[in-house]
């Protein structure tokens, strides 16, 4: 009996919108494109992790790293959100955000002042990472997220440090990006006003690396830092 051939399914290139990921304001700026979402996440350093503690909202800035369709956040084992994501609890409902400001938009009217930005919002349930291999991979990803290649050029965490470090995992499932580009959106009747209007672009830059005074003699500046 001859088998039937099946065409391999293509990986989805977009996240499915949900009630929580469709913005109520300027929905035309929303995007669910995975490539765009990944690019925004990979360019950032700090995320803001929101959750509810004792009935009140809490938002914490923290480092993160991405491995495929997962985000990892680390902290001390005594950290409240990391304790809440582990144990017998089925996980911690969270909202994680990352934002880049690309330009200040100065309009003739105060009402139309704005910023050009790229942002990502992730909703989901964070879980404590207990598998040792996944935990090491997550910690490497966190180090490499700050400076790509750094995890291979530093001592890995020892058992004591691993025991003192907790990592939570958040799957990229309910995700949306939101982007504002372009110039000033003044009202037609305001165009003749004698006020300067336009964009003030912002850019991220790096100064020359400053070596630690106790650096071992002969330690050269790594190529991945020189390329920054």
Residues 139-152: pLDDT tens digits? 999 999 989 999 99
Q: Is residue 172 part of a domain?
A: yes
Q: Is residue 41 part of a domain?
A: yes
Q: Is residue 214 part of a domain?
A: no
| pLDDT 10s digits, 110-162 | 999 999 999 999 999 999 998 888 999 999 999 999 899 999 999 998 888 88
The mean pLDDT value for 166-192 works out to: 95
Task: State which residues form the domain around 87.
Answer: 27-185+222-226
45-64: burial string, b at 16+ Cβ within 10 Å, e else: eebebbbeeeeeeeeeebbb
**Cα(206)–Cα(208) distance, integer angstroms:** 7
Q: What is the CATH number of the domain that holds 67?
A: 2.30.110.10
- The distance from CA 45 to its chain's CA centroid, rounded to whole angstroms, is 7
Q: Is residue 57 part of a domain?
A: yes
Q: Is residue 191 part of a domain?
A: no
Write out the two tokens for 220.
């050269």
Write out the two tokens for 14.
């977009």
Closest CA to 73 of 123, 133, 132, 127: 127
Q: Is residue 204 part of a domain?
A: no
Number of domains in the chain: 1
CB atoms within 10 A of CB 184: 17
**Cα(27)–Cα(4) distance, integer angstroms:** 43
Q: Is residue 169 part of a domain?
A: yes
- pTM of structure: 0.87
Q: Is residue 19 part of a domain?
A: no
**Cα(173)–Cα(124) distance, integer angstroms:** 7
């Amino acid at each position: 009996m001859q088998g039937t051939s099946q065409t391999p399914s293509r990986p989805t290139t977009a996240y499915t919108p949900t009630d929580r990921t469709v913005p109520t304001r300027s929905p035309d700026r929303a995007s669910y494109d995975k490539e765009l979402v990944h690019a925004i996440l990979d360019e950032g350093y700090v995320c803001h992790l929101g959750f509810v503690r004792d009935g009140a909202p809490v938002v914490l800035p923290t480092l993160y790293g991405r491995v495929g369709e997962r985000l990892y956040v680390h902290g001390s084992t005594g950290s409240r959100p990391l304790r809440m994501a582990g144990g017998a609890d089925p996980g911690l409902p969270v909202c994680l955000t990352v934002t880049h400001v690309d330009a200040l938009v100065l309009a003739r009217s105060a009402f139309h002042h704005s910023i050009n930005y790229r942002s990502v919002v992730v909703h989901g349930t964070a879980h404590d990472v207990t598998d040792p291999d996944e935990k090491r991979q997550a910690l490497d990803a966190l180090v490499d997220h700050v400076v790509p290649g750094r995890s291979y050029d530093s001592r890995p965490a020892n058992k004591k440090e691993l025991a003192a470090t907790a990592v939570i995992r958040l799957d990229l499932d309910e995700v949306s990006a939101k982007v504002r580009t372009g110039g000033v959106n003044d009202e037609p009747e305001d165009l003749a006003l004698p006020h300067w209007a336009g964009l003030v672009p912002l850019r991220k830059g790096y100064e020359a690396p400053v070596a630690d005074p106790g650096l071992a003699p002969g330690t050269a500046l790594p190529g991945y830092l020189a390329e920054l």
